[in-house]
Amino acid sequence: MSFSKLGLSSNILRALEHSGYKQPTPIQDKVIPFVLSHHDVMAQAQTGSGKSASFVLPILEIWSKNIGEGKSKIKTLVLTPTRELTLQVAQTFVSMGEFLPQKPKVVSLIGGESIGDQLFAIQKGCDIVVATSGRLIDVLNKKQMNLSHLQFFVLDEADKMLDLGFAEELELILKEIPSKRQNLLFSATYPPKMQMIASRITQNPISVTIESDEPTVQAINQRVIEVNHANRGPLLRHLLESEKWEQVLVFMANKRATDNIAAKFKKYGFLAESFHGDLVQEDRNYTLDAFKAKKIRILFATDIAARGLDIDDITCVINFDLPRSPADYIHRIGRTGRAGKSGLAVSFIDHEDQDHFALIEKRSQIKLVREQIAGYELSGNAPEKVKGPEPVKGKGKSKKDKLREQAAKGNG
């Protein structure tokens, strides 16, 4: 299948060629024709599947044919869970719209940057707004944004927005936009809460799923290396030299650990930086751009900062500290092996991580061979499982006794 067969016009095909997209990914293949024929879509798609272009391309196609006269009006609103994803989606609109007779004006609304500048950009006239919901609400409260001409409402990576009071924010947003519009929903999972949101937003949506044998994580070679916690830093240095990995994303448990280890690796002469939620947006953007441009080789990051990261050339993801949940494991390793490339994910585990990693394996339906690296072998013994003291019968009151007493008091 080629992009031209999907019904996209020559100016967009030119932008695709310019970006090196040769053929549509499975999600693009399925979603683009439905959007072009004005259907609501509810797609199940992972990051790395090419889902952004699956809505960006047909929206631009339709928009460019109906621009209308006068000052630009906001026709498209995309909500995303993170600042990084917002900027990436906005960038995709810009690059795919580059050769259109009239280029779309795209504004990103994200926290951590001046709201005044964002309001100014909207006032000047824009066609497409990409936003995180929090900042969008702040902007709506200023009553300086007109969403009454909206045609497309998109939720990207919607399942990651479910917490943080999103349902309430969504209601506020729905009040501001026309009820007749085209809705496009993208989510990796559809738990009941997500389905409720889907039914609140979409009308007769077409469901699109990508067969389970196509997830991007299949392209990822996963390794697990047993090493003592204290030896993880030296092992990482050894591997960086022996395996010659180029761009490496290393996940740490918290911000402090991220800063500390980045400083250490810099001292050893590596091009390393830390990346976490406490950095101001300008620093985050700068670091990401430097990593993309390969001026940084090793990025030490927390989970929060890495959500939605879209960098094609990550050679290897390291779980220096294990993720808390199996879902985070899949999310982390999905940062490599993107856009059809192969990838590598390596997890370091010590004795006390064994049970937790076994759980991750079980939930992710994988089973990995434990490796050890010569000179960095795991030593010591697994910690004894500490059991609490056996309950002693007759000491203290049982729950039942307490309930009985309460009931007796109530009756007496």
The answer to whether the CB of 357 falls within 8 A of the CB of 373 is no
Number of residues lying near ligand AMP (CB under 6 A): 15
Name the residue nearer to ligand AMP (CB basis): 42 or 225: 42
Residue 312 near ligand AMP by CB under 6 A: yes
Q: Which amino acid is at 58?
A: P
The answer to whether the CB of 143 falls within 8 A of the CB of 120 is no
Name the residue nearer to ligand AMP (CB basis): 290 or 339: 339
Residue 21 near ligand AMP by CB under 6 A: yes
The two beta strands, 182-187 and 152-155, are parallel
Whole-number Å distance between alpha carbons of 226 and 229: 9
Quote the tokens at residue 22. 């040769």
Task: Describe the strand order of the beta sheet including 152-155 as a list of residue ranges.
Answer: 106-109, 128-132, 76-80, 152-155, 182-187, 41-44, 206-209
Beta carbons within 8 Å of 51's beta carbon, 6+ residues apart: 27, 31, 43, 45, 156, 186
Q: Which of 31, 39, 42, 49 binds ligand AMP (CB under 6 A)?
A: 49
Name the residue nearer to ligand AMP (CB basis): 26 or 112: 26
Quote the tokens at residue 63. 């928009």
Residue 86 near ligand AMP by CB under 6 A: no
Q: Which of 87, 78, 56, 17 is nearest to 292 (CA)?
A: 87
Minimum distance from residue 338 beta carbon to ligand AMP (Å)? 5
Q: Which of 42, 53, 322, 330 binds ligand AMP (CB under 6 A)?
A: 53
Name the residue nearer to ligand AMP (CB basis): 85 or 107: 85
Whole-number Å distance between alpha carbons of 51 and 24: 10
Q: Which of 25, 44, 80, 108 binds ligand AMP (CB under 6 A)?
A: 25
Beta carbons within 8 Å of 97's beta carbon, 6+ residues apart: 15, 60, 64, 103, 104, 106
Residue 94 near ligand AMP by CB under 6 A: no
Residue 24 near ligand AMP by CB under 6 A: yes
Q: Which amino acid is at 245?
A: W
Quote the tokens at residue 274. 């830390």
Minimum distance from residue 399 beta carbon to ligand AMP (Å)? 51
Whole-number Å distance between alpha carbons of 173 and 153: 10
Residue 52 near ligand AMP by CB under 6 A: yes
Each residue of 298-316: b (16+ CB within 10 Å) or e?
A: bbbbbbebbbbbbbeebbb
Per CB under 6 A, the segment of 45-53, 175-183, 223-231, 366-374 that binds ligand AMP is 45-53
Query: 366 to 385, contacts with ligand AMP by CB under 6 A?
Result: none
Q: Which of 50, 58, 81, 97 binds ligand AMP (CB under 6 A)?
A: 50
Per CB under 6 A, the segment of 24-32, 35-43, 117-125, 277-285 that binds ligand AMP is 24-32
Residue 310 near ligand AMP by CB under 6 A: yes
Per CB under 6 A, the segment of 51-59, 62-70, 243-251, 327-335 that binds ligand AMP is 51-59
Query: 123 to 152, contacts with ligand AMP by CB under 6 A?
Result: none
Quote the tokens at residue 374. 């010569």
- Which residues of 160-238 form beta strands (DSSP E)? 182-187, 206-209, 220-226
Residue 339 near ligand AMP by CB under 6 A: yes
Residue 338 near ligand AMP by CB under 6 A: yes
Name the residue nearer to ligand AMP (CB basis): 60 or 239: 60
Name the residue nearer to ligand AMP (CB basis): 45 or 261: 45
Residue 48 near ligand AMP by CB under 6 A: yes
**Contact residues: ligand AMP, CB under 6 A:** 21, 24-25, 28, 47-53, 310, 312, 338-339
